[in-house]
């Protein structure tokens, strides 16, 4: 019997994210000196901080290499960053071994064809709203938000809601508003 989305999310212990097109809008800006810049969504970042506080680990898995990604990971206290991953499925298998996790305990959010082998392997797969159509056909869920515009936050909240943690989180902020 197939699990529904909420049941799949209850088992998630590790959230793995692609970077370009997922954590960012996919654009890469380079200045005259070749320095790279990317746009990240602050709400996505806050969602990642919250989910880590509530026991879900986060890892980044990207095919490109960028110092910007290292800076963002440090800012969000994400310790596991896999850059230059030309074969994401092989790296994913190593991540499973490192954490001694079954694939069913992992969620992955992607947007491009290089993500499909991992998306087909994880317990919960998602694509951002502006992902390629072939990717959207390969996942459990398509976010309402585009990459770099709240898609990561959406997945973080879904996981926390399914695991019964979101009400506690929301209550902390609602209480603070009434003071």
Q: What is the pLDDT of residues 35-57, one digit of tens each?
A: 899 999 999 999 999 999 999 99
Q: Whose structure tokens read 């069913």? A: 104
User: Where are the strands (E) in 29-174, listed by range?
Assistant: 29-30, 36-37, 57-61, 80-82, 106-110, 124-127, 141-142
Does residue 100 or residue 174 have the better pLDDT? 100
Rounded Cα–Cα distance for residues 165 and 143 (Å): 20
- Residue 1, pLDDT score: 55
Q: In what order do the strands lie in the sheet with 14-17?
A: 80-82, 57-61, 14-17, 106-110, 124-127, 141-142
CB 153 within 8 A of CB 23: no
Q: How high does pLDDT run on average in the chain?
A: 94
Tally of domains within the chain:
1
Range of the domain at 76: 5-177
Give the CATH number, domain containing residue 27: 3.40.50.1000
- Tokens representing 85? 């991953």
Q: What is the pTM of this model?
A: 0.94
Does residue 105 or residue 168 have the better pLDDT? 105
**Residue 2's pLDDT band (boundaries 50, 70, 90)?**
low
């Amino acid at each position: 019997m197939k699990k529904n989305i909420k049941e799949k999310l209850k088992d998630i212990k590790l959230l793995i994210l692609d970077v370009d097109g997922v954590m960012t809008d996919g654009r890469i800006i380079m200045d005259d000196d070749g320095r790279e810049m990317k746009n990240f969504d602050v709400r996505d970042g806050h969602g990642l901080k919250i989910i880590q506080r509530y026991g879900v680990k986060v890892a980044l898995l990207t095919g490109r290499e960028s110092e910007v990604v290292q800076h963002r990971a440090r800012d969000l206290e994400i310790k596991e960053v896999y850059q230059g991953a030309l074969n994401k499925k092989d790296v994913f298998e190593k991540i499973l071994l490192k954490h001694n996790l079954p694939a069913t305990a992992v969620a992955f959010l992607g947007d491009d064809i290089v993500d499909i082998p991992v998306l087909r392997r994880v317990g919960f797969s998602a694509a951002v709203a502006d992902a390629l159509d072939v990717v959207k056909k390969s996942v459990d869920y398509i976010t309402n938000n585009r990459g770099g515009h709240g898609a990561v936050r959406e997945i973080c909240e879904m996981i926390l809601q399914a695991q019964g943690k979101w009400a506690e989180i929301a209550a902390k902020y609602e209480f603070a508003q009434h003071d």
